[in-house]
Amino acid sequence: MDALLLSHGADLPWLTGYRAMPLERLTMLVLRATGDPVLVVPALEAPRVAGADDLFTVLAWGETEDPLDQVCSLLSNTGNTGSTGSTGAGGRFAISDRAWATTLMALQGRLPAARWIEASAVTSPIRAVKDTLELEALRSAGAAADRVAAVLQAGEIGLIGHTESEVSGRLSALLIAEGHDHVNFAIVGSGPNAASPHHEPGGRVIGRGETVVCDFGGTYSLDGDVGYCSDITRTVVTGEPSDEVAECYLALMSAQQAAVAAARSGVTAEHVDKVAREIIGDAGFGDLFVHRTGHGIGIEEHEDPYLVSGNSEQLRPGHAFSVEPGIYKPGQFGMRLEDIVVIGEDGMPEPLNSAEHGLVIVER
């Protein structure tokens, strides 16, 4: 690459500690193969770019200026190895996957001979392997989410007679009380709604004898650093479960625990998915497990590596991901069990969540 161009999305805060607001105004880190990195930033946002002096130069643009002039002038000084000349007309540039389409299209208009790839081709493999501080943040986030799950499982949140939205609100407030900076989501799906994996919690009143899928997480930061994510799912049942629900849950739990145990350095991401899928399939519920087994997690809720059939990438120390099989019976019930797992230096799985894995009955 002649330059990495980082705008909106997680790559910029991951690399610099600065998170751009999702404004229409352009923010772009221009990280050239040669030359100092420059952050092109709206003048009104410049005060938020703190303590970056030794990392990059800040180039603030005023409301009547065109920031693309600044970006293109920086790019015209790139090496352009193997490109069409020294004017910057050629060159290979990697741009944030989450940059606005308008930004990329304007750059393509100005640099018609340039070739573009997604920044994730450069950043994802590096981001997927967490360093010590990142692991510390993920562990703290996981422990905080565990404490919220424990409150749910202890029956301290009223379920029967309450709406999904109310329960979602309680879980969200607890995530903040336990140290998260932001709530990213608090899915609560009860009864037939539990069969929709990403159900939007609504006005449905939770009844007796229903499964309630609670999947929640937030962003947690240590010492004001950029935040890392938690993500946990626990399914509870409001009263004695039916034989069918109990049988499904046993298959779910053994699939989840076998998949966690199988997640070791050197095995492929798809192998972990296969382990979970085989156990649920052998129990006769294979058709009801409708999503991949897991996703990487870090500064973003979903990132590489994905535990999905077709991903032959090998797991390695520092990888962090969810293991979250589910069983969903349309119109009736659903269940999911999710922990975040890290591959340790010894190559073994280290679960970051330890809240009760069995089917907990909450009779209130």
Shortest approach of Zn ion to residue 187 CB, angstroms? 7
Q: Which CB, 322 or 353, lies closer to Zn ion?
A: 322
Contact assessment for residue 52 and residue 165, using Cβ atoms and an 8 Å cutoff: no
Q: Is the dihedral of CA 148, 149, 150, 151 positive or negative?
A: positive
Shortest approach of Zn ion to residue 184 CB, angstroms? 9
Shortest approach of Zn ion to residue 112 CB, angstroms? 40
Contact string 201-240 vs Zn ion (x = CB under 5 A): --------------x---------------x-x-------
Phi first, then psi: what are they for 235, rounded to 5°?
Answer: -110, 130
Q: Which CB, 181 or 247, lies closer to Zn ion?
A: 181
Verify binding: residue 339, Zn ion, rule CB under 5 A. no
Q: In 116-143, which positions are buried (b, 16+ CB within 10 angstroms) versus exposed (e)? A: eeebbeebbeebbbbeeebbebbbbbbb
Give the full edge-to-edge strand order of the sheet including 339-343.
303-307, 294-296, 320-323, 339-343, 349-351
Helix (H) or strand (E) holding 277: helix 269-282
Shortest approach of Zn ion to residue 173 CB, angstroms? 18
Verify binding: residue 322, Zn ion, rule CB under 5 A. yes
Q: Which CB, 80 or 293, lies closer to Zn ion?
A: 293
Q: Which CB, 70 or 230, lies closer to Zn ion?
A: 230
Verify binding: residue 146, Zn ion, rule CB under 5 A. no
Q: Which CB, 8 or 199, lies closer to Zn ion?
A: 199
Shortest approach of Zn ion to residue 325 CB, angstroms? 11
Count of residues that interact with Zn ion, criterion CB under 5 A? 5
Contact assessment for residue 30 and residue 5, using Cβ atoms and an 8 Å cutoff: yes
Contact assessment for residue 255 and residue 285, using Cβ atoms and an 8 Å cutoff: no
Span near Zn ion by CB under 5 A; candidates 44-52, 201-209, 277-285, 337-345: 337-345
The CA distances from residue 292 to 43, 87, 313, in Å, are 43, 46, 15
Q: Which CB, 18 or 249, lies closer to Zn ion?
A: 249
Which residues form the interface with Zn ion (CB under 5 A)?
215, 231, 233, 322, 338
